[in-house]
Amino acid sequence: METLLPTSVRIPKVLTIAGSDSGGGAGLQADLKVITALGGYGMSVITAITAQNTLGVTRIQDVDLDVVEAQMDAVFSDIGVDIVKIGMLASPEIVQTVARTLLKYGIKKVVLDPVLRATSGASLGGDDTAQAIITELFPLALLVTPNMDEASLMLGRDVTGPDDFKLAAQELLDLGPQAVLIKGGHLDGAHTQITDYLMWRTFEDGLEVIQSKEFKHYRVNTANTHGTGCSLASAIATYLAAEHDLSHAVAKAIAYVEAGLEAGRFLSIGEGPGPLWHMHDFYPTALLDEREKR
């Protein structure tokens, strides 16, 4: 009897280059949860190890530069990637190592989340790191996803709300990436609606055309917001790897994170702000809790 070999099945391959969160709510742990939940194959390059929980970050240990590069070499030389998502890079030297290795392998799709501060307020990278990210990684990025604080730091001026987003996005776009998504979730809780602003460049008949789109969505009433930025960037990257266009990928990723926040409203993980619930499609905890109350 003839033996039939299994056919090759394509799965989106997403590499996260980020710091490790020992509490599991953000960083590469969150990235890998998102990638898996959305049907991708997740791989990781650890840039830093953090001692972290829902109350904050108590210790950061950078990974040696040659180890960062070796991890990237291992993935690129064998498995390959459809897209790279970049999160926490704690020093200019790590930024330069990552950029050099991306160039070596000719990586064209990069979603860059310029993580410079944790949700708890802890610094994860200073001004020198921010400048290195702009110089080394912005020109390689398909999309950059700063929140308002990160946009303010990189532009050297305050970005305080949606009225500032268009100009800020244009100024960040001028620094080299193909697209910028400014996230409005850090507005104070008095704002019941969140605005995220996407600006991107395309080329029509050889001419550059700038397009933009606002995404308005409601604020989920929850303290469990740890890891939202990491999760959003990873979701966008996974949808892009699955060949959704940019605007559609952003819209789907926002909906995924919003559903995760809603599902995680009643989770009790730690003494501080817990994470969103990444596995809401499989285990809808909020709905289960609501049923139990009836």
Kindly list the catalytic residues.
Answer: 183, 225, 227-230
First vs last C-alpha separation in the chain? 58
CB of 18 closer than 8 Å to CB of 47: yes
Per the DSSP assignment, residues forming a β-bridge with 62 are: 48
Crossing angle of the two packed helices 27-37 and 228-241, in degrees rounded to 10 = 40
- Side-chain half-sphere of 155: how many Cα atoms within 13 Å? 22
